Structure 1
Amino acid sequence: MDLEKARFNMIEQQIRPWDVLDQEILDLLAVVKREQFVPAAYASLAFVDMEIPLPAGQNMLAPRVEARILQDLAVRKHENVLEIGAGSGYMAALLANRARHVLTVDIVPELVELARTNLANAGVTNVDVAEGNAADGWSAAAPYDVICISGSLPAIPQSILSQVKVGGRIAAFIGELPVMEARLVTRVSETEYQVVNLFETAVKPLQGAARPSQFQF
């Protein structure tokens, strides 16, 4: 495979047409090597417009979905990020290139080790990977400037909403199959949040999340 040609085609044919027009984001996708975060068995699918299987029944999100979330979160260099759902570590690597620091948390020990290994091999030094259930947030380092939730939830729990700073943003996939919405939630005051629906999608549920009746917005 001509990796650079495949990467170029991914950016120009999948990602740019999906309203990812921020040149800094497009450049970043050329720099952070997605193939380094894909399980070896699926290496040939690294740049394909699909989710890629990970251990424990989880998936890497499709490249265009990752790129849209990254663009819409608009992470800045002074900001601290919480990612809920480490997966392979790829999204954390992208976020880390934009942020001061990223804390990514996964409930699956195998994915914690996978993300740590991939991030180390890629030379990413401003990401910490923790093991645990962050479906209700991760209070140890709160509040955060940005929270990125990489699995779907019926709604965002109040415990997560309270862990983002005023002016901070949360990206989440909300709803249940067959149709979910990617949403950007911005905390505009101590008690108010602005919600923007970004696009429709379908993403695997976040492991460890509470039942829908326990959520509120």
Structure 2
Amino acid sequence: MVLMSGNRRVVLKFRNAREAVDFVDLLTRRVKMGELIISVRSNTVELRIRGDKESSDIMLAEALKIYGVFKARNGGSMDLSVLISMAQPTHSVPFDVVTAILNEEGYYSELSGIRLRTQAPLDEVINVIRSVAFMYASMANLSITQNAKKIIATHSRINGLDIAKTMQVLSSMGILREYRNGESTVITASTSFEEYINSITRLNQRTKLG
């Protein structure tokens, strides 16, 4: 990366031309202020930023934020807002669920403020975000508590089950329960999401030990 802050010129290098184009597409979708002149040559992107100091600083910070996620393609620290822009999920996604799933898949991951620190490759992170969004969209019209939704989504992903089958399995295990309030029924969980994660982690550890 070459950065000349005086005239806000930035030169960024990527793995290949496709990645460079993806960066430009994402940057132009997220930056809506000032003037941005972009030149792409193979795997190299040159940015020239024009505008007042405040807008130029914001555009530069945004460009470097996005670039940081591409540089962490094989694992690293990733900005959550950039991940959301890349994944374009169909439904809002709780990132503690994404983190839990990545950990259960064998990629150490943790949330740190507005960043996800993970050993997972970027493609897998995006895949998990989209998967969780799809599951949450499937549960959007069901009367399920947020805690129960987190458990259902996680169990569904790590076991390769659809939402309906997952709810049947969790109900048979006593993890999901129905709570009647007058004429309405709400599906709740008998345990917290955190305790559920701890329990499957302990189970996996015992399985590995044989």
TM-score when scaled to structure 1? 0.28
Instruction: Point out the structure with the larger strand share.
Output: 1
Name whichever structure is richer in helix by fraction: 2
State the TM-score, normalized to the length of structure 2: 0.29
Q: Higher RCO, 1 or 2 (CA under 8 Å, sep at least 6)?
A: 1
